[in-house]
Amino acid sequence: MSVLKSFFKDTVIYGLAIVLPRLINFLLVRLHTDVLPNESYSENTEFYVVAAFFNVILTYGMETSFFRFFSKNKDKSAVLSTAMITIVVSTFFFGILLFLFRVPISEALRINTDFYTLLVGITLIDTLIVIPFAYLRVTGRPIKFAVIKLINVLIMVLLNVLLLSKTYGLESLRQVFNVENNVEYIFIANLIASGVVLILVLPYFFKAKLQYDTTVLKQLLRYGWPIMVAGLAFVINENLDKWLLPEIEGEFVNGAYSACYKLAVFMTLFIQAFRMGAEPFFFNHSDKENATQTYATILKYFTIVGALGLMIVVIYIDLLRPIFIKKESYLLALDIVPIVLLANLCLGIYHNLSIWYKLTDQTRFGMYISIIGAAITIAFNLIFIPKIGFMACAYATLIAYGLMMLISYFLGRKYYPVPYDINRISLYLLVSAGLSFITYYHFDRNILLGTVFLLLFVALVAFLERNEFKQLLKR
Specify the range with the lowest mean pLDDT, choosing from 43-47, 310-314, 361-365, 401-405: 361-365
Q: What is the pLDDT of residue 4?
A: 58
The string of pLDDT tens digits covering residues 89-117 is 999 999 999 999 999 999 988 888 888 99
Nearest to 78 by CA among 175, 198, 210, 240: 210
**Mean pLDDT across the chain:** 87
Report, as an integer, the average pLDDT of 452-465.
95
DSSP H or E stretch at residue 341: helix 337-353
Whether the per-residue pLDDT at 1 is higher than 50: the answer is: no
Cβ–Cβ under 8 Å, residues 86 and 62: yes
Report, as an integer, the average pLDDT of 182-192.
92
Burial call 112-133: b when 16+ CB within 10 Å, e when fewer = beebbbbbbbbbbbbbbbbbbb
Q: What is the pLDDT of residue 190?
A: 93
DSSP reduced 3-state for 190: helix
Helix, strand, coil abundance in the chain, percent, nearest 5: 85, 0, 15
Q: What is the pLDDT of residue 146?
A: 79
Whether the per-residue pLDDT at 15 is higher than 90: the answer is: no
Whether the per-residue pLDDT at 425 is higher than 90: the answer is: yes
User: What is the total residue count of the chain?
Assistant: 475
Q: What is the pLDDT of residue 285?
A: 64
Q: Percent of the chain beyond pLDDT 70?
A: 89
Q: What is the pLDDT of residue 345?
A: 95
CA separation (Å) from 16 to 13, 144, 272, 394, 422? 5, 12, 11, 28, 29
Name the residue with higher pLDDT: 15 or 211.
211
Name the residue with higher pLDDT: 342 or 23.
342
DSSP H or E stretch at residue 198: helix 183-201
Name the residue with higher pLDDT: 155 or 274.
155
Report, as an integer, the average pLDDT of 143-148.
83
Q: Percent of the chain beyond pLDDT 90?
A: 49
Whether the per-residue pLDDT at 53 is higher than 70: the answer is: yes
Q: Please report the beta strands in 56-183, taking only residues with DSSP state E, as ranges in sequence order.
A: none
The string of pLDDT tens digits covering residues 219-262 is 888 888 888 888 888 889 888 899 999 999 999 999 999 999 98
Report, as an integer, the average pLDDT of 412-419.
90
Q: What is the pLDDT of residue 138?
A: 80
CA separation (Å) from 243 to 237, 239, 376, 404, 429? 11, 7, 16, 22, 30
The string of pLDDT tens digits covering residues 22-48 is 676 677 888 899 889 999 999 999 999
